[in-house]
Amino acid sequence: MTRISPQPGIMDIELYQGGASHLAGVTDVLKLSSNENPFGPSPAAVQAVSEAAAKLHRYPSTDHAALRAAIGAVHDLDPDRLIIGVGSDEVLTWLALAYAGPGDEVLYPEHGFSLYPIVARAAGATPVTAPETARRVDVDAILARVTPATRLIYLANPANPTGTMIGADEMTRLAAAVPESCILVLDGAYAEFVDGYDGGAALVDRHPNVVMTRTLSKIYGLGGLRVGWGYAPRAIIDVLNRIRGPFNMSNVALAGAEAAIRDQEFVRTCRIANAEQRARLAGGLAQLGIPSDESHANFVLARFADADRARAADAHLKAHGILVRLVAGYGFPEALRITVGRPQDVTRVLDAMATFPGATA
């Protein structure tokens, strides 16, 4: 008799590390560790969620037609080529489960989102990384790592945790060069923070093997509701719908997400506030001798002299009740990822860092 054992690769998965949310003995904690919207969700979404709560005895829609129609209307996309998931995490996971398996490779940039190796291994495939150049995605390095076994390429643009971005020309060149045996997944978790950027939707329209994912967890301020979506060629949507649980989305999540999507004024306000406060945060840190690359998202990757200094800064911020993210697991032991907050939050971070021993200002 053989004993039960998980599929190959599963025990190689390192557990996802979320951003810290509590500090012992501190009541006034400022959480800047998970790239959440500091203004919270749209009031329209909160209202829709509470109204939907009265109908919790009903099963939710299985086709999510109303939410897909709302997304289609706002983004000018074909609702039949949209799929809704429990966060974009679920869409990213379906792609791996449906298209990669043992012997296949899943490729992503070296500082890429930590979920990518998790979903690759969950599918039994082999994660492969491509080097970045000065904390920026390098399209040629990615293409050089594509082999006949490569089934998926995951690419976040803007990227997490660097906040850097590649331009439309680079994305276009990558999409055109990826072989048809491989799907390019453009993870647009932070796309809304870039004014006028379509997250790669136009590339999806032009290629049979390009997919875009988006989330309501970041600019929409709905990380706790768990809603994300994918936009893909019809053939890929048909595949993903076969492994999607019929009732994957609760009626509360669907209602809240639809109201949030329809409140684009809220998104616009948050994008403008984020850009202003991001400039204040990055500029203030630079004055203290702490550099960062130009960020296109709602966080800044602050770089210190070495890992010891980064850990000391993290401890110093914690002593001031501020939680940020150590990103050694992403290959940046010398850096801290700091989410952009409200004006008063940015002030609190800069005031705290001004008293960090050895700060230069």
Ligand X SMILES: *Cc1c(COP(=O)(O)O)cnc(C)c1O
Q: Cβ closer to ligand X: 156 or 281?
A: 156
Shortest Å, Cβ 289 to ligand X: 28
Shortest Å, Cβ 114 to ligand X: 9
Instruction: Give CA–CA dist 36/297, Å, rounded.
Output: 11
**CB of 157 within 8 A of CB of 200?**
yes
Q: Cβ closer to ligand X: 36 or 353?
A: 36
**CB of 284 within 8 A of CB of 276?**
no
Q: Cβ closer to ligand X: 87 or 284?
A: 87
Shortest Å, Cβ 55 to ligand X: 25
Q: Cβ closer to ligand X: 108 or 266?
A: 108
Q: Cβ closer to ligand X: 219 or 237?
A: 219
DSSP 22-90: --TT-SS-EE-SS---TT-S-HHHHHHHHHHGGGTTSPPPSS-HHHHHHHHHHHT--GGGEEEESHHHH
* Count of C-beta atoms within a 10 Å radius of residue 306: 11
Q: What is the DSSP letter of 211?
A: E
Instruction: Give CA–CA dist 63/24, Å, rounded.
Output: 44
**CB of 283 within 8 A of CB of 305?**
no
Q: Cβ closer to ligand X: 19 or 79?
A: 19
Please, what sign has the CA dihedral across residues 173, 177, 180, 184?
negative
**CB of 199 within 8 A of CB of 186?**
yes
**CB of 335 within 8 A of CB of 302?**
yes
**Amino acid identity for residue 186 in this structure:** L
Residue with tokens 């009265």: 54
Instruction: Give CA–CA dist 361/66, Å, rounded.
Output: 53
**CB of 154 within 8 A of CB of 106?**
yes
Residue with tokens 């390009």: 210
Shortest Å, Cβ 88 to ligand X: 4
Shortest Å, Cβ 344 to ligand X: 24
Shortest Å, Cβ 326 to ligand X: 16
The SS3 assignment for 344 reads helix
Q: Cβ closer to ligand X: 123 or 156?
A: 156
| Kind plus residue range of the DSSP H or E element containing 302 | strand 299-303
Q: Cβ closer to ligand X: 123 or 219?
A: 219
Shortest Å, Cβ 169 to ligand X: 22
Q: Which residues bind ligand X (CB under 6 A)?
A: 35, 87-89, 113, 156, 160, 187, 189, 215, 217-218, 223, 228
CB closest to ligand X, residue no = 87
Shortest Å, Cβ 172 to ligand X: 21
Q: Cβ closer to ligand X: 230 or 284?
A: 230
Shortest Å, Cβ 324 to ligand X: 15
Instruction: Give CA–CA dist 224/89, Å, rounded.
Output: 13
